[in-house]
Amino acid sequence: MIKLAPSMLSADFAYLADSIKKVEDAGAQYLHIDVMDGHFVPNISFAAPVIKSIRPHSKMVFDVHLMISDPLRYIDDFAKAGADIITFHINSESDADETLAKIKSHGLKCGLAVNPDIDIELLFPYKDKIDMVLIMSVYAGFGGQSYIEDVNEKIKKAREFFGPDMDIEVDGGIYTSNKNMPIDSGANVLVSGTGVFGQPDIAKAVKEFLN
């Protein structure tokens, strides 16, 4: 089953709770929450207090993507704020095994992410320690970028290695018009920001993704 994770980064922050309710009511299963520190990526976004403030307004899976240099330092904060899944980048400064163990200690699902220029094989040793693989189809940091088609081979390689039961999430430049590229390559979780929150009819966009 394909799961849709609308990216909160593209939502209208003035009406955040209302926007989240629209995508949830339309059938989106996950809410993708990009956390950026201005160091690991050249942008700054949400912190744990924002997640805590919206948690009472949604029953969706909170899919927290940490694009930060030292994720281990903040796992407790995001777990307490209401995250359900925490994913971080394999090339962050934190020890991967220690960070995954910390996420698991909170009873949460965990994932590892790679940018388009990072080899997917770096994640292979963690096959039995993670619940999700996140493959960036743009360079992490800003919304509205175009899908990098070269990542399709990376998605295929990930699906072949991790097998049919691993969630493989793809993030960046995905719209209803090109959603079949990651799906046909093996992805089952699609992140879309502009393709959902940037559309005139948010609910219609969600339904088109899930059809």
171 flagged as catalytic: yes
Of 63, 171, 184, 201, catalytic: 171
Of 97, 89, 28, 91, nearest in space to 64 by CA = 89
Averaged pLDDT of the chain: 94
- Per-residue pLDDT of 158-204, as tens digits, reads 999 999 999 999 999 999 999 999 999 999 999 999 999 999 999 99
Distance CA 15, CA 17 (A): 6
Domains annotated on the chain, with CATH: 3-210 (3.20.20.70)
Of 12, 25, 34, 70, catalytic: 34
| Reported pTM | 0.95
Distance CA 14, CA 94 (A): 34
β 85-89/61-67 pair status = parallel
Of 66, 71, 139, 77, nearest in space to 106 by CA = 77
201 flagged as catalytic: no
Residue 141 clears pLDDT 90, i.e. is over it: no
Question: Quick one: pLDDT at residue 195?
Answer: 95
- Per-residue pLDDT of 14-44, as tens digits, reads 899 999 999 999 999 999 999 998 888 878 8
